[in-house]
A and B are shown apart, each in its own frame.
Chain A
Amino acid sequence: MQSQQQIRISRGKGLVFGLLAMLAAVQASANGEIGDHVNDLKGHLGQYSEEVDWLVGKYDGVVDSYEAKGRKAVETQQLIDFWEEVDFHSAIETNYVPVYANIWQGIYGIKQAIEAGKPVAEVRAEQEKLNSAFWQALGAVKLASQFQERGLLAKIQTTESEPTTMPETLEDIKLRLDRVVAKYAEQLPEAATTIVHDTYLHRFEGVEGALIEQDAALVEDLEKDFNVTLPQAINGNASVDDVRKVVESMQVKIDRAKELLVAAEKKRKDVF
């Protein structure tokens, strides 16, 4: 079991790697088209900061209303509408999906707590988590803007491009798994399941033949994760944290797979 400290360190590393993975294959978001602003993050940092302040205020207002007037005074759909209204939404979605998932988790945390008539203290606790996710996301976008300015971040496209090497494919699998958590946190289990299925069929299938020659047990493990463990967690109404744990454990295995395949590629003879 990892300690919180280890998880924080690992997530910090993940942020840098996630940004450097240069997500060049972002498809149009389920929540609307991705605007050109995502290719000029630095020019929009002021706007994003304002939007985060606005969001924090809006969610605070909703919880204040709940505290003062109770459940009937609150339209919980607003909690989702606020988030879908801002450009910052696609800025984080296209640059660091793990935090994007935390934001959805936080929004639904507040929404479900209010709908269940939970004590205000519990709703405030969910609000705190959401605020932390917003600030973490703003930090991630600021970091991404620095990478982008130095030319280290690929231009974000709205059409899918294909990874061309096995290591690239494995990185792409990790990003897709992050999106699984995001979609699950967004309360879209079918979309999450579709991503799992497509990732297996169109990505993992292409590398597992080479991987099984290096470590058959690792392939067995990942086969089970893709086809049993993760779909079961999603379909069995597991918590977002539990789905995230499955994904994180898969990502550790994918990293191991990448090491093995990079080493194997070095030993491979040339074509000519």
Chain B
Amino acid sequence: MQRRAFLRSACLNSLAVAGAVGCLPVSAWASDTENMALSVEQLPPLEGDLTLYLGRGEGGLYENVLEAIRKRNPKFNLQVRRGVTAALANTIVAESKAGVRRADVFWAVDSGAIGLVADAGLARPLPAALTGQLKPGFQYPQWAPVTGRIRTLPYNTERVTPDRIPDSVMALADSDLSIGWAPAYASFQSFVTAMRLLEGEQATADWLKGVSERAKSYAGELGVVMGVERGEVDIGFANHYYTLRLKSGKPEAKVDLAFTNNDAGCLVNASGILALSEGDLPINFIRYLLTREVQSYLAREAYEIPLVNGVQPPQGLPALSAISPPKLDLTQLADLRPTLNLMRRVGVL
């Protein structure tokens, strides 16, 4: 097992980070002064009718963003259909097959759902000036990531010392650490999908079997983090913001974050948006979501990671240049069915 280097952060006592920089260039996380995020003041007003399909977002905060956009644009008539992200993606594809298009824009909480719609050939190309505001590694021609979230290893600071945590997620299957996970949870399934794509079917099956021998299941990933904090398990799998939010409400919480190195264990997944209809209005609406103001709001209030240049990440995360997520086209995470079949086959679902 490799010894790891650790960074101190303002919020967390010790954040374990990967030793080496992985596939994404360091500049992926650095500010790009040429294509900084715009201010809302630089955008044209929105006028006309637009229908947004909105996958369930972060507890009303996305709604606050939409309300603020409405308030700022009195001639803008925004209709919103809300639902489970995957269900809305399937609806968009089904409507298209029936020759109907009800949505002009689709804002999804995970990139897999975006991939499903994009693969059906329904996404309109985005202008280079828009995608150019996004960090390298997150620039896609047909959709824009809105905010990111990192897979992390929350660990109990009283039960585990950082040097016991491997910097490879695959090595966790052979460790002696007790593990908390939420196999039925969408974010976890995206993570396993990433592992399947990066490591292959057999290696993923072996990993799931190995970890399941020492794993305790939770309904959701906040549950995982709280289980870790209570000392029910040594370590868990969860998106970064659960730990940050727990630490915000309970500063003395006995939990910190570790990151693996260049594998599915530190995947950066993203919420994303795409335009389904032609014209300037859908594109300009997307621009509003990528403004400095909206990106800062989501970072500050929801602890989500801004993916545009020039906006600070949420407090409590280490410098992102020290994290090495795997290189993966996020829309490939739409390929969920083989993952679910695999998880059922090895008995973790």
The distance in angstroms between the C-alpha atoms of A1 and B112, with both chains bound, is: 49
Q: Are B223 and A227 in contact, CB atoms less than 8 angstroms apart? A: yes
Smallest beta-carbon distance B250→chain A, Å:
4
A201 to B186, CA, bound (A): 10
Q: Does B40 make an interface contact (CB < 8 A)?
A: yes
Query: Taking the nearest CB of chain A, how far is it from the CB of B247, in angstroms?
Result: 9
Besides A212-B246, A212-B249, A226-B219, 8 new A-B residue pairs in contact (Cβ under 8 A), listed by A number: A164-B60, A164-B63, A206-B60, A209-B59, A212-B250, A213-B245, A215-B249, A271-B65
| Residues of chain A lying within 8 A (CB to CB) of residue B65 | 271
- Structural contact, B82 and A162, CB atoms closer than 8 A: yes
- State whether A272 and B220 are in contact (beta carbons under 8 Å apart), knowing that A165-B60, A166-B59 are contacts in the complex: no
| Known contacts A212-B249, A216-B250, A271-B297, A202 near B56 by CB under 8 Å | yes
Given A164-B60, A202-B56, the answer on whether A208 and B222 have CB atoms closer than 8 Å is yes
Q: Are A210 and B59 CB-contacts (below 8 A) given A216-B249, A220-B226?
A: yes
Say if the beta carbon of B31 comes within 8 Å of chain A: no
B-facing mask of A149-168, CB < 8 A → 1, else 0? 00000000000011011100
Is the CB–CB distance between B293 and A213 below 8 Å?
A: no
When distances are taken between beta carbons in the complex, the residues of chain A under 8 Å from B301 are: 268
Of B56, B241, B303, the most chain A CB neighbours within 10 A belong to B56
A197 CA to B223 CA in the complex, in Å?
14
Is A82 among interface residues, defined by CB-CB distance under 8 A?
no
Is B58's CB within 8 Å of the partner chain A?
yes
CB-nearest residue of chain B relative to A214? Answer: B249
Q: Which residues of A contact B302 (CB under 8 A)?
A: 209
A223 with B226, Cβ < 8 A, contacts A169-B60, A206-B56, A268-B301 known: yes
Q: Which of B83, B226, B245, B303 contacts A162 (CB 8 A)?
A: B83
B341 at the binding interface (Cβ < 8 Å): no
B249 contacts A207, C-beta separation under 8 Å: no
Q: How many pairs of A and B residues are in contact by the CB < 8 Å rule?
A: 89
Asked if B94 lies at the interface with its beta carbon under 8 angstroms from chain A, I say no
In whole angstroms, what is the CA distance A265 to B83 when docked?
23
Q: Within the assembled complex, what's the spacing in Å between the Cα atoms of A213 and B244?
A: 9
Give A214 to B301 CA distance when docked, in angstroms. 13
List 21 A-B pairs, Cβ < 8 Å: A162-B56, A164-B82, A166-B59, A166-B60, A206-B58, A206-B60, A207-B59, A209-B58, A210-B58, A210-B61, A212-B249, A213-B248, A216-B250, A216-B253, A219-B222, A223-B223, A226-B219, A227-B218, A227-B219, A271-B65, A272-B40
Q: CB distance B60 to A213 under 8 Å?
A: no
CB distance from B294 to the nearest CB of A (A): 6
Assembly CA distance A201 to B57 (angstroms)? 13
Contacts of A213 in B (CB 8 A): 245, 248-249
Query: Does B101 interact with chain A (Cβ within 8 Å)?
Result: no
| Shortest beta-carbon distance from A29 to chain B in Å | 21
A271 adjacent to B220 (CB under 8 Å): no
A interface: dominant SS:
helix
- A220 CB to closest chain B CB (Å) equals 6
CA separation between A214 and B245, bound complex, in Å? 9
Q: Is the CB of A206 within 8 A of B297?
A: no
| A binding-site residues for B, Cβ under 8 Å | 161-162, 164-166, 169, 197, 200-202, 205-210, 212-216, 219-220, 223, 226-227, 265, 268-272
Most A CB within 10 A of own CB, among B218, B249, B301: B249
CB closest chain-B residue, reference A223: B223
Report the nearest B residue to A227, measured CB to CB.
B219
Contacts of B249 in A (CB 8 A): 212-216, 219
Closest 9 CB pairs of A and B: A271-B68, A162-B82, A216-B250, A216-B249, A213-B249, A166-B60, A206-B59, A207-B59, A213-B248
Among residues of A, the one whose C-beta sits closest to the C-beta of B296 is A271
Indicate if the CB atoms of B242 and A205 lie closer than 8 Å. no
Residue on A with the closest CB to B301?
A268
Q: Does B84 interact with chain A (Cβ within 8 Å)?
A: yes
| Shortest Cβ distance from B302 into A: residue | A209
Contact bitstring B105-129, A, C-beta under 8 A = 1, else 0 = 0000000000000000000000000
Given A209-B245, A213-B249, verify A272-B72 contact (CB < 8 Å): yes
List of B residues within 8 angstroms of A270 by Cβ: 68
Distance from A31 Cβ to chain B, minimum over Cβ atoms (Å) = 25
**Closest Cβ of chain A: how far from B26's Cβ, in Å?**
30
Smallest CB–CB gap between A118 and chain B, Å? 40
* Nearest CB of A to B62, in Å: 9
Set of chain A residues within 8 Å of B223, measured between Cβ atoms: 223, 227
Known: A165-B63, A272-B40. Is A212-B219 also a contact (CB below 8 A)?
no
Q: Judge if B27 is at the interface, Cβ distance under 8 Å.
A: no
Q: How far is the CA of A208 from the CA of B80 in the complex (A)?
A: 23
Q: Is the CB of B60 within 8 A of A212?
A: no
B241 contacts A209, C-beta separation under 8 Å: yes
- Residue-wise interface mask of B (54-97) relative to A, using a CB-CB cutoff of 8 A (1 in contact, 0 not): 00111111011100110010000000101110000000000000
Chain A residue nearest in CB terms to B241:
A209
Chain B residue numbers with a CB within 8 Å of A205 are: 220, 222
